[in-house]
Amino acid sequence: MGFAIAGALALAVGIGIGRFAFTPILPMMQKDHGLTLRLAGLLASVNYVGYFIGAFSAIWIRLTTVTVLRISLVAVVVLTSAMGLTHYPAAWLLLRGFAGIASAWILIFSSAYILEQLASLGESRLGGVVFSGVGFGTALAGAFCLLVLTLEWSADQAWLVAGVIALAIALCCWPGFRNATHARTVAKSSASPLRLRSHLLVITCYGVLGFGYIIPATFLPAMAKQVMPDPAIFGWAWPIFGGTAFVSTLLAGRLSAFLSNRLIWALSHGVMAIGVAVPVWLPGMAGIVISAICVGGTFVVATMTGLQEGRTQTPEHASRLIAAMTAAFAIGQICGPLLVSAVAGMHNGMEALLVGACILLLMSAVALVPGLQRARTSEKGIGN
C-alpha cells in the first residue's frame, strides 16, 4: 500500500496540480488579466506540447527513476508558483510548457515504477489507488479555487497557494521513491525488440482519449461561468469533476477483478462521449454538471486501464510503450485547445467541436472491443 500511496501523491502533484490547476484558475485570470479564450487555448496547448516533449524524451532518458521524479516534483512546485509572479503572456507560455514536461515525466516514471512494484507483489488491484491521485489532486485544486473565489482572492494568489499545496504533497511522497534507484525498465537481451506497429490500436485509442477529454477538462469552469456567473455556483464544476475522478478510479480498481482492463477502457470512452456532448444537447448548468460527472468519472479510469493494458501487452518494454501512448495522448491534447482557439469566433464552433470529439470517442470505444478476449487471455497469462 505504501507504494500505491506514494504513486497517488506524485500524480496528485504532477497531474492534479501541475496540469489541471490552470483549469479552475482560468476564470480568475480572465477576470483579473483579461485573458481571452484564444490565449487560454494557446496556454493549454503549449502545456500539452510540453507534455508531448516530456513523453517523447522519456523514451531516451537514462537517469534513475528517483532522480527524474524528484527533479519533476520540484519543477512543478516552482513553475506553478511562478505563474502568480508574472503577467506577461510569453512568460506564462514558457512556464506552462515546462510544467507539461515535468507532468509527463511524473506520470510515466511513477506509474511504470509503481505498477511494476505492485505486479511483483501480486497487488495489481491497487492500481486504482495509484491513479486516484489524479482525481485527488484535481478535486483538491478545485476545492481550493472554490474557496479562493468565495474569498475574492486574485489569480496571482491562487497560483502561489497552489504551489504551496503542491510542495506539501511532494514532501509527503518524497520518501516513497527512495528505493527507486534503478534506471527505468530496460528490455532483457533475450526479449524481442518493441515494435510499435503491433500496438497501433492502443496507441491511437489513447490519443483519441487525449483529444476527447481535454476540451471539457480545460474549459469546463469557463463554460460554467458563461452559464452561471455566480462563483458560488459555477465554482463547483471543477470540484465535482475531480471528486468523481477520485471515486471512480477507486471503484474501477475493484472492478478490474471482474472485467478486463480493455473492457473498462472501452466503457469509459462510451460514457465520456456522452459527457463531452451533453452541454450541446442540454444547455445550462445541468448539462455542465452531467458533463463534469461523466468526463471526470471516466478520464482517469481510461488513463489507468489504458496504461495497464500497455504494460500487459509488453511487460518487458512497459516504459517505452507507455511513453509512446503518452506521446499520442499529448498530441490529442494539443489539438483540442488549438481547435478551440480556431473556432472561438465561429458561430456554434464549440458545439461542433464537442460533437466531433464525441464521435471519435465512440469510434475508439468500438475499436477496442474486438480484442477483449485476447486481452483477457494476456492478462491471465502474466498474472495481472
What pLDDT digit, counting tens, does each position of 51-81 carry? 889 988 887 787 888 889 999 999 999 999 9
Domain range for 167 is 2-185+196-381
Within a domain: 296: yes
Would you state the pLDDT for residue 334?
83
Beta bridge partners of 64: 183
Q: Is the pLDDT of residue 197 over 70?
A: no
Within a domain: 191: no
- Rounded to an integer, the average pLDDT of 23-49 is 87
Residue with cell 478551440: 340
Q: Return the percentage of the chain with pLDDT > 90, whole number.
A: 30
Counting the structural domains of the chain, the total is 1
Within a domain: 190: no
Q: How confident is the model at residue 214 (pLDDT cuts 50, 70, 90)?
A: confident
Q: Return the C-alpha cell found at 191.
A: 526479449
Within a domain: 101: yes
CATH number for 161: 1.20.1250.20
- Of the two residues 373 and 27, the one the predictor is more confident about is 27
Q: What is the Cα gyration radius of the chain?
A: 19
- Rounded to an integer, the average pLDDT of 314-337 is 79
Which tens digits make up the pLDDT trace of 138-184? 888 888 878 887 788 899 999 999 999 999 999 999 887 877 655 44
Within a domain: 330: yes
Within a domain: 265: yes
Residue 136 burial (10 A CB sphere; 0-12, 13-18, 19+): buried
Q: Write the CB contacts of 67 (distance below 8 Å, at least 6 apart in sequence).
A: none
Q: Render the burial of 82-120: b for 16+ CB within 10 Å, e for the rest.
A: bbbeeeeeeebbbbbbbbbbbbbbbbbbbbbbbbbbbbe
